[in-house]
Amino acid sequence: MKKVLAVLAVFLITASFVFAGGSSEGSNDMAGSVAMVLSGLKTDQAFNQYTYEGMLRAGQEKGIKTAYMESVKDSEQIEVIRQFAQAGYQTIIGQGGQFGDALATVATEFPNTQFIFSVGNDTYGLPNMSAATVSYKEAGYVGGIMAANATKNNKVAMITGVFYANQSQMRDAFEKALHDVNPDIEFTAIETNDWADTDTAYNAANALIAQGYDILFPCLDAAGAGVAAAADDSKGKAMVVGSVADYAGVYGCKAVVGSVDFNWEGLGYLESTGELCDGQAHEVGLANDGLNITINNLSEEGVAALEQAKNDIIAGNIVL
Amino acid sequence: MGEKKTLNLPLIGNIILTKGHSVLGIILGIIAGGILILISGVNPFDAYGAMLRGAFRNWASFTNVLVRSSPLLLGGIGVAIGIKSGLWNTGIEGFMYLGGIGAAIVSTMNLGLPPVLYVLLCFLVGMLFAGVWGAIPGYLKAYRGVNEVTCTIMMNYIAVYLTNWIVTSTPIAQPEAFYPMSLPFAQATYLPILTQGTSLHIGPFIGIVVCLVFYFLLKYTSFGFRTRMLGYNPIAARYAGVNSKRQMVIIMVIGAMLGGLAGTIECIGLRHRLYMEYVTNVGYESVAVALVAGGNPIGVLVSALFFSILKAGGATMAIETGVSSSMSSIIIALCVLFVVGVGVADEKSASARKRKAKAAAAAKKEVAE
Amino acid sequence: MDNKAYALKMQGITKRFPGTLANDHITIECEHGKVLGLLGENGAGKTTLMNILYGLFRPDEGQIFIDGEEVEIQSPSDAINHGIGMVHQHFKLVDTLTVIENVVLGLPTMKQVLDLAPAKEKLLKLCHEYELFVDPDAEVWRLPVGQQQWVEILKALYRDCKVLVLDEPTAVLTPSESNNLCRAISKITAQGKSVIFISHKLREVMEITDNVTVLRDGKVIGTIATKDATQLKLAEMMVGRAVEIERRPRAKVPADSEPVLVMKDVNVYDERGVHALKNFNLTVHAGEIVGVAGIDGNGQRELAECISGLIKPQSGTIEIKGKPVTGVISDPSFLGFIPEDRHKTGLVLDFTVAENLIIKEYMKAPFAKKGILQYKEIGSHANEMIDKFHVKTSSKDVAVKTLSGGNQQKVVIARELNPEPILDIASQPTRGLDLGAVMGVHDVLMQERERGAAVLFISAELQEVMALSDRIIVLYSGENMGDLDGDTADQAVIGQMMLGKRI
């Protein structure tokens, strides 16, 4: 009796799936459809969430079909991207630096589908693969102008986790801005090797302050709170020029000149509209609303210099 | 009287009866998962339908299942032989990283070897790295009495950070990368793709062969005899002259080498680079695979494929119906819980039955007297 | 009504386990303010009975009365509520907690915050009252074993127990600690509390108890007032067998027979650090059976295990046919070893009969060739052994755990003795077997002797030692008390030696 029941149960369940499997959805209009592959959760209140929201906004405004997959692990990247391509999505966005190889692999298999490597600048020489990133260079330059106009000791330091490609570009542009304003400014850049360790960042910042650096330019994740705290604790000896986050808003930092952070939502939106699908590498910067600049404690000359620099960049007068 | 009229379904019927715990537990897990899917606002029949389509729509979708089964098969066997010998090997996660590191070091060197040799060299070095890594918890367990679960899990963390360090700060790290990763591997190390337009490499078939080999090894060799004896009764094994400490180290090292092979195959079969945190829990999933299989290599074959169906189909389910992509992991976890739970419940009710039967027999005897 | 006289009465307690009757209508009575000794060998049913009293097992039959009222004890907390305190042989303390924390652990309390000060005061009072001194704030793992036992006793007294059960309490105590314990027991009984004292050490039972109940094979052999008992009488009750076993006729062992087992000045300490074998010397010759008599737990297990290499002696030498023993001996043509616990040591219960028959030879031809098991050979060997040793089993391929105890033992004997080893060790080979099976084992051992093997026969059953042995040695507290000729040995003399008297 038990045996019969067990066999029956298995059959019933299997059968129910097969029947359900028969009812495939009607083929929607896939024109302009876009799918986004995220490495983290779409509710992370950071990069993943904002780019995803950008895609949603594009979907609503343009009436295009959107889809996403979150928390995609390394080993399943190719498979998931391929599934989207097989399902007929016309643009597939890999949101993060780890998706490059996987996108390129699938792009060669689906020449009629467009692929966007987001937060990367490599198109792997493929006509149907584009790259888009926010401009770390422009963010660095804007930060440099603020720092140069705020320093009193003419000593400025950058603190970051590790100098990956983006951080290196940011550092070079930042240094260029400093020296464009005042060639005598002394500049140093250090790595903490941890993007989230607040204590390490706090200690590193204090060490820099002790050496007389009075403007700190952090490019960190959660560890930014440590730099903010060090500046606040320095009793006016040092101030922060924030990047990647609004230091006054996010960390409640008082000793802050201003911050430059990225408009991820705007990037997601731009990628989803299909404007970037041209086989080129794009940098979304001041010209297309890719940066948010917040000013907290900057002299009038400083503000004016900042405006000037922004205009020069947009006009192409400054090449980074 | 129902007994005799049982449908003559020897295969399915017997599997269900002999593997009753696992099958019933899995069914309960799927039902519980369906309830969760329902709560998240999706019709569970649609969702499971999408899952099955994702796994079985055509050969290309089934290749996804196979590709995902590769590390689960190898890692599952690594854990299963541990279970057979009374060891809980929870270190597959770390062994996979070590296998990846070994493969990365060899294949970024561009030795200019012919493909077959180069791939074999990768396997060898990956297994060697993981084997040495596995010897540490094996030694600590056998000769120092350190709990192997704690030890291997700790070492998993070390392996994760070791990998992170290698892909960020060593000569084989990709400089100026957008994400921590190694240099690209030499083309000659790529595992051949068996079906164009898919990721199907030889890994799953290696895994299947390994399952069969270990089934044979455990059942038909003196090595397997020794292993099973150690698992069933370590005191008797010692009495029979088994060097149980050495055997423990050997089992742990074999498990580690299988884990290392799994990691190597993932690296040279799929991404052709070593990435930061590229394993992401597959090692722990293989513990679940072995657990559901009850340590039986053929069971590992079945449960690894089943988990792969859930995972590959789960991706399709998430894409097509909008169910959270973590749902397939949740369903896997539920299946494991129910398999274990059904086992425990069954044991309890069996002993209760025994008690009742004995009481009844005693009562009969008294009446007779 | 007459039950009222007893602080505790267990009546007609019966408990069956698969294959054994652990308690067979056992009745014990413990008076107010008196000490009842519970005497019996390992496996006699003492521990099962006490676990029933403590609510860990439910009896199949029988009643429990406390102060004349029938009570139902379903769990240890019921037992505690009925005033029963238990000190187990293996302590149930949380090592990492302090003494006072262990004492209050599990007490019902309405408070959310632990206030130990009043508890400590009460504990210290108890310490003084019974002269069992411990530091309430010491962590338990730091305490010597004796003091850990004080903690267990104080824990029970703290809960105001009426009946205190002590399971083999002196096994872990030094002589002076034992004296402390005796003093404490007399103080406890002076307050009208009762004590049940479980032991197989006769001298202590004589000293401490008022009445003794002797158990054997799950049955009560008798209850006597201690003042009317002698150690010898108790020993007879404890180890005696209802059926007389006749001494087997045999030829004299030739005097020039070669020595096979030679042990010189062997000292073994067990895992608890107890000195289990003391300067032990023994020689066993080919073609003779040397019987080891003695009450269980006097070093028999260590003797068998150090010869077979399972444990390493701290000093001394052991040689078998001139070869020193350096590790576990698994060569069955060298040593055949029937271990005392066939379930734990002698068999892999989940393996089949066929597999169990080769657990020492599984890697050798003809059972394995180039590492591959030869199931055909294994099967025919199994069938041969099943026939030769009359193992009753439905098939060679059933798990050995499904066999009866006697047939399981036959599997062990077939495996160990069929390869014709030069030395046999048979450690309690007849324990738990019915008479027919016992006789079968005796036949096998006699055949081994005739074959010319040296046989070391360890048994707690004096009768069978006397029936089979050419020479008898007596183990007491790890010492070889003397070497007697099997033909002329006198039961009374051996009985005295088993109790520690040198003759």
Cβ neighbours of A274 (radius 10 Å): 18
> Are A74 and A130 contained in the same domain?
yes
User: What pLDDT shows up at residue C4?
Assistant: 66
Answer yes or no: do C372 and B354 touch at CB < 8 A: no
Cβ–Cβ under 8 Å, residues C295 and C474: no
For chain B, say whether C20 makes contact (Cβ under 8 Å). Answer: no
Under 8 Å between Cβ of A137 and A249 = no
Distance of alpha carbon C111 from alpha carbon C88, whole angstroms: 29
Closest CA in chain A for residue B326: A71
C432-to-A138, A255, C43, C402, C406 alpha-carbon distances in Å: 88, 85, 9, 16, 8
**Over pLDDT 90: what percentage of chain A?**
67
Contact B92/A at CB under 8 A = no
Same domain, A125 and A141: no
Residue B260 in contact with residue B91, Cβ under 8 Å? no
Give the pLDDT band (50/70/90) at residue B6: very low
Of B30, B179, B272, nearest to A97 by CB-CB distance is: B179
Question: Is B233's Cβ below 8 Å from some Cβ in C?
Answer: yes
- Chain A residue with CA closest to B6: the answer is A4
More confident residue, B322 or A57: A57
Amino acid C472: pLDDT: 94
* Residue A165 and residue A152 share a domain: yes
Residue of B nearest to A12 (CA): B27
Confidence bin at B76 (pLDDT 50/70/90) = very high
Q: pLDDT tens digits for A237-271? A: 999 999 988 999 889 999 999 999 999 999 999 99
In the prediction, which pLDDT does B100 show? 96
Nearest CA in chain B to C305: B239
**Amino acid B175: pLDDT:** 85
Q: Domain count for chain A, please give it.
A: 2
Q: Choose between A75 and A84: higher pLDDT.
A: A84
- A295 is a domain residue: no
Q: Which CATH number fits domain C248-334+421-503: 3.40.50.300, 3.20.20.100, 3.40.50.2300, 3.20.20.60?
A: 3.40.50.300
Residue where one domain finishes, among candidates A76, A101, A134: A134
Statement: residue A3 has pLDDT above 60:
no
Among A229, A244, A262, residue at a domain's last position: A262
**pLDDT number for residue B5:** 35
Q: What is the largest CA-CA distance in chain A?
A: 91
Neighbours, chain A (3 or more CB pairs < 8 A) = B
Evaluate whether chains C and B are touching (3 or more beta carbon pairs less than 8 Å apart): yes
E strand map for C256-412: 259-269, 275-285, 289-293, 315-320, 323-324, 335-338, 368-369, 372-373
User: How many other C-beta atoms can be found within 10 angstroms of the C-beta atom of residue A229?
Assistant: 20
> Looking at the structure, do residues A122 and A198 belong to the same domain, yes or no?
no
Name the minimum distance, in Å, from the CA of B228 to any CA of chain C.
9
Residue C372 and residue B220: Cβ atoms within 8 Å? yes
What does pLDDT average to in each consecutive run of 10 residues of chain C (503 residues)?
Answer: 75 82 90 91 80 90 91 89 88 87 80 79 90 88 85 91 89 79 92 89 86 89 90 77 67 84 93 85 94 87 93 93 89 91 90 94 91 94 94 90 86 94 93 77 92 93 88 92 88 84 79
Yes or no, beta carbons of C350 and B222 under 8 Å apart: no
Residue B2 pLDDT: 35
Q: Is residue A90 part of a domain?
A: yes
pLDDT at B127 over 60: yes
Which residues in A lie closer than 8 A to residue B23 (C-beta atoms)? 6, 10
pLDDT tens-digit series, residues A207-217: 999 999 999 99
Give the structural domain span for A110: 34-134
Residue B3 scores a pLDDT above 50? no
Could you tell me which residues are beta bridge partners of residue B292? none
Q: C2-239 domain in CATH 3.40.50.300? A: yes
Chain C residue numbers touching B220 (CB-CB < 8 A): 372-373, 375
Q: Read off the pLDDT of each residue in B24-48 and give the average, rounded to a whole number.
A: 91
Nearest to C443 by CA among C380, C396, C388, C493: C388
pLDDT confidence of A31, banded at 50, 70, 90? confident
- In chain B, residues with a C-beta closer than 8 Å to the C-beta of C18 are 354
Return the partners of chain C (3 or more C-beta pairs < 8 Å). Answer: B
Examine the domain organization and report whether A151 and A255 are in the same domain.
yes
How close, in Å, is residue B56 to chain A by CA atoms? 10
pLDDT in tens, B246-278: 999 999 999 999 999 999 999 999 989 999 888
Q: Interface pTM (ipTM) of the complex?
A: 0.82
What was the pLDDT predicted at A11?
58
Task: Give the mean model confidence (pLDDT) for residues A16-35.
Answer: 60
Lowest mean pLDDT segment, chosen from A24-28, A73-77, B349-353: A24-28
Q: Are residues A197 and A232 in the same domain?
A: yes
Give the closest of C18, C328, C355 to B238, CB-based: C328
Indicate the range of A32-36, A149-153, B235-239, B324-328 predicted with least confidence. B324-328
B and C: number of Cβ contacts within 8 A: 69
With an 8 Å CB cutoff and a minimum of 3 pairs, decide whether chains B and A touch: yes
Q: What is the CATH number of domain B67-310?
A: 1.10.3470
Mean pLDDT within B159-188: 90
Which CATH number goes with the domain that contains A75? Answer: 3.40.50.2300
Q: Locate the domains of chain C by residue range.
A: 2-239, 248-334+421-503, 345-416
The answer to whether C2-239 and C248-334+421-503 have equal CATH topology is yes
User: In 3D, which of A236, A261, A238 has the Cα closest to residue A248?
Assistant: A261
Are C86 and C165 in contact by the 8 Å Cβ rule? The answer is yes
pLDDT at A22: 40
> Residue A163: closest CA among chain B residues belongs to which residue?
B176
CA distance A34 to A93: 8
Q: Which of residues 252-281 of B touch A (CB under 8 A)?
A: 266, 270-273, 275, 277-281
* Nearest Cβ partner for A7 among B7, B54, B181: B7
Q: Say yes or no for a CB contact (<8 Å) between A79 and B315.
A: yes
| Residue C16 contacts B where some CB pair is shorter than 8 Å | yes
User: Do B315 and A69 lie within an 8 Å CB cutoff?
Assistant: yes
CB contact under 8 A, B48 and A1: no
A84-116 pLDDT per residue, tens? 998 889 999 999 888 999 999 999 999 999 999
Tell me whether residues C371 and B223 touch, CB distance under 8 A: yes
pLDDT for A193: 83
On whether the pTM is more than 0.80, the answer is: no
Chain B residues in contact with A81 (beta carbon < 8 A):
none
Distance from CA of B32 to the nearest CA of A (A): 13
Select the residue from A14, A69, A76 to test the B interface by mutation, using most B Cβ atoms within 10 A: A76
Mutate to test the interface with B, among A98, A117, A194 (most CBs of B within 10 A): A98
**Pick from A134, A153, A173: which residue ends a domain?**
A134
In this prediction, residue A20 has a pLDDT band, given cuts at 50, 70 and 90, of very low
Give the per-residue SS3 of chain B.
CCCCCCCCCHHHHHHHHHCHHHHHHHHHHHHHHHHHHHHCCCCHHHHHHHHHHHHHCCHHHHHHHHHHHHHHHHHHHHHHHHHHCCCCCCCHHHHHHHHHHHHHHHHCCCCCCCHHHHHHHHHHHHHHHHHHHHHHHHHHHHHHCCCHHHHHHHHHHHHHHHHHHHHHHCCCECCCCCCCEECCCCHHHCCCCCCCCCCCCCHHHHHHHHHHHHHHHHHHEHHHHHHHHHHHCHHHHHHCCCCHHHHHHHHHHHHHHHHHHHHHHHHHHHHCCCECCCCCCHHHHHHHHHHHCCCCHHHHHHHHHHHHHHHHHHHHHHHHHCCCCCHHHHHHHHHHHHHHHHHHHHHHHHHHHHHHHHHHHHHHHHHHC
Q: Is C501 helix (H, G, I), strand (E, B) or coil?
A: coil
Percent of chain B with pLDDT over 70: 88
Q: How confident is the model at residue A10 (pLDDT cuts 50, 70, 90)?
A: low
CA nearest to A13 within chain B: B27
Please tell me which of the candidates B224, B236, B354 has its beta carbon nearest to residue C359: B236
